[in-house]
Amino acid sequence: MEKKSFTCDYNEGAHPLILQRLLETNMIQEPGYGEDSFTASAKEKIRQAAGCPEAEVFFLVGGTQTNATVIDAMLRSNEGVIAASTGHIAVHEAGAVEFCGHKVITIPQQEGKISPEGLASYLKAFYADPTWPHMVAPGMVYTSWPTEYGTLYSRDELLRIRGICKDYGIKLFIDGARLGYGLMSDAADLDLPAMARLCDAFYIGGTKVGALCGEAVIFPDGNAPRNFFSTIKQHGALLAKGRLTGIQFDTLFTDGLYFKIARNAIERAMEMKALFERKGIPLFKDSPTNQQFPILTDEQMAAIEGKVLYETWEKLTDGRTVTRFATSWATTREDIALLETIL
């Protein structure tokens, strides 16, 4: 692949420090299934970084897997999960949540986010309908942070969503597949400990933030569902060589590496955003994180054909195309400079 790719944030392997650490530790014998010392160390570092010493931390392999496993474990058998109509679990996970027996209940979104008002309104209407026991009662709200459109809920929005969840006795789960890119955005008004305080479960994405694979699920108050380890196994989400995720997260949470490399992506993304603006290319969403959504004409797309890779997102009625350009931990200033010469 000769062309520079901005298609996603998982185009490269892993951050070099991770590979180096895998190499250094390679012949050390350790037990399997997450009983290794690297995993223990990584968990402890995450508990400290998230300011929740009581937290239970588990490492899974990928995002869809993590969503399905956590959602299934936290819901009762007859409950569904509320998500934005653009939510990843509602669209791009091949029905993984439904496969576990749970309906994904979609409600309207703005900029990829559900609003506290929209959520409250849905819940009020649901229980006002006398036929609700014939419908799927929600047991959880799922949000992604950043969202599929790169946008961020503010701390206040999340607190209000949490409050509504508590009023109705339902859980709040946050998909942090790109958590680092959210936390390091200038638009974020919360940090990792704040995130841990305002939800029932969330995860710190590794796959899209410099790891080969791996997502770190956190139950901040030690509130993991009973025998969650068995649930992980049951869902096929348990690595025999747990060291693989242990070493990666241990590295990412040593000397703040996770945050530093996420910050790199944000800085490059903001440079890219400014570049699009300078070139007069409108943006579909005002994203403060590593995914940008420039709207290109057919002519513009033809002009860059073969020089740079990106994703096409959707076709507008006026014939223009919403595209996605993503930066990552691996994106360099040179990459952005190159993009400038191409556009």
Footprint (CB under 8 A) of a second copy, residues 311-330: 330
DSSP states of 141-205 = EEEESS-TTS----HHHHHHHHHHHHHHT-EEEEE-TTHHHHHTSTT----HHHHHHT-SEEEEE
Q: Evaluate whether 328 touches 10 at the Cβ level (below 8 Å).
A: yes
The site for a second copy, by CB under 8 A, has a size of 81
- CB within 8 A of 237, min separation 6: which ones? 60, 61, 65, 66, 69
Q: Shortest gap between Cβ of 214 and a second copy (angstroms)? A: 10
Nearer to a second copy, 154 or 227 (CB): 227
Work out which of 17, 40, 100, 159 binds a second copy, going by CB under 8 A. 100
Residue 190: count of CB within 10 angstroms of its CB = 20
Query: Segment 146-205, which members bind a second copy (CB under 8 A)?
Result: none
Question: How near is the Cβ of 36 to a second copy at its closest, in Å?
Answer: 9
Find out whether the peptide bond into 146 is cis, omega within 30 degrees of 0: yes
Answer yes or no: are the C-beta atoms of 283 and 293 closer than 8 Å: yes
User: What does the block give as tokens for 324?
Assistant: 């996605």
Q: Considering beta carbons, is residue 55 or 335 the nearer one to a second copy?
A: 335
Piece in contact with a second copy (CB under 8 A), picked from 18-26, 42-50, 179-187, 269-277: 18-26
Q: Compare residues 52 and 141 and give the one whose CB is closer to a second copy.
A: 141
Give min distance, CB of 97 to a second copy, in A: 8
Residue type, 188: A
- Provide, rounded to whole angstroms, the least separation between the CB of residue 225 and a second copy: 7
For a second copy, which is the closer residue by CB, 52 or 207? 207
Is 302 a binder of a second copy (CB under 8 A)? no
Q: Is 104 in the site for a second copy (CB under 8 A)?
A: yes
Identified binder of a second copy from the candidate list 40, 50, 54, 72, rule CB under 8 A:
72
d(CA 289, CA 106): 24
DSSP symbol at 237: -
Position 262 contacts a second copy (CB under 8 A): no
User: Could you say whether residue 136 binds a second copy (CB under 8 A)?
Assistant: yes
Indicate whether 301 belongs to the interface with a second copy (CB under 8 A).
Answer: no
Beta bridge partners of 283: 294
> Among the candidate windows 4-12, 153-161, 261-269, 282-290, which touches a second copy by CB under 8 A?
4-12
Does 226 bind a second copy (CB under 8 A)? Our answer is yes
Q: Contacting a second copy (CB under 8 A), which of 52, 123, 152, 238? A: 238
Q: Are 265 and 331 in contact (CB under 8 A)?
A: yes
On whether the CB atoms of residues 235 and 72 are closer than 8 A, the answer is yes
235 binds a second copy (CB under 8 A): yes
Instruction: Compute CA distances 77 → 103, 235, 242, whole Å.
Output: 10, 15, 29
Q: How far is the CB of 12 from a second copy (least distance, A)?
A: 6
Q: Given candidates 45, 47, 162, 243, which one binds a second copy under the rule CB under 8 A?
A: 243
CA dist., res. 148 & res. 253, Å (int): 25
Does residue 68 interact with a second copy by CB under 8 A?
yes
Binding to a second copy in span 28-47, by CB under 8 A: 28-33, 37
Q: Is 109 in the site for a second copy (CB under 8 A)?
A: no
Query: Which are the contacts of 115, defined by CB distance < 8 A and separation ≥ 6?
Result: 157
Beta bridge partners of 217: 58, 203
Looking at residues 80 to 99 of the shown chain, list those that interact with a second copy (rule: CB under 8 A). Answer: 80, 91-96, 98-99
Q: From the CB of 159, what's the least distance to a second copy, in Å? A: 26
Q: Are the C-beta atoms of residues 42 and 168 closer than 8 Å to each other?
A: no
